[in-house]
Amino acid sequence: MVRQKPKAGEVYRHFKGQEYLVLHLAQHTETGEEMVVYEALYGDHGIFVRPLAMFLSRVDHNKYPDAKQRYRFELQESADAEDTMQKLIFDFLDQEKNEEKMEFLQAHRNHLSDRFLSVVAESLDFVENETDIDQRYLSIMNYLNTLIKYESGRLR
C-alpha cells in the first residue's frame, strides 16, 4: 500500500503519542531526498526534519512491541486538527505583550488560516481590509509594529 504524502497543515500522531504539525515538504540539497518539516504541538514547539520515507514508515514492532499504531506517524482526524487550531488560538491570546504576539505570529506563520487570522484581528481590535491570507498576515504584523512603536514612545 502506498501512503499519501503529508500536506502542510496536517496533524500527525507519532506512535509514542505526541502530535506534530506538518509545516512543509522539502528537498535535501545534496541528495534530492524528500524531507518532512514538522513542528511539535507540545513543549517548546520544536521544529524537526525527517526523510519522507522514514516519516511514512511502519513501526518496528520487534523493537516497540507495545506500539498501538501501524505506522511511525499517522494522520489525525479533522477533530484533532480543530483541537490544534483551538490550542493555537488560545496560545496566541495568552501572549500579553505586542512583541510576544508578533513573535508568536512569526513562529506560526505556516499554519495561518482564515479563522485564526480573524480571531487575531478581532482580539487586537484591528479591522481587516485584505482577503488574501498573506496580505492579512502582513497587515496584522504592520498594525502590531505600529502599536509597539506607539507604546514605546509614551511617557510612563
User: What is the model's pLDDT at position 85?
Assistant: 79
CB atoms within 10 A of CB 44: 6
User: What is the model's pLDDT at position 80?
Assistant: 57
Average pLDDT over the chain reads 88
Q: Which residues of 26-37 are buried (b: 16+ CB within 10 A; e: fewer)?
A: eeeeeeeeebbb
- What dotted CATH number matches 11-76? 2.30.30.320
User: What is the model's pLDDT at position 48?
Assistant: 96
User: What is the model's pLDDT at position 130?
Assistant: 80
Q: Are 48 and 40 in contact (CB under 8 A)?
A: yes
List of the chain residues with pLDDT < 70: 1-2, 77-81, 153-156
Q: Are 76 and 122 in contact (CB under 8 A)?
A: no
User: What is the model's pLDDT at position 124?
Assistant: 94
Q: pLDDT exceeding 70 applies to what percent of the chain?
A: 92
Quick one: DSSP state of residue 58? B
Q: What is the pLDDT of residues 75-90, one digit of tens each?
A: 986 555 677 778 888 9
What residue has cell string 515538504? 25
User: What is the model's pLDDT at position 30?
Assistant: 95
Residues of the chain with CATH 2.30.30.320: 11-76
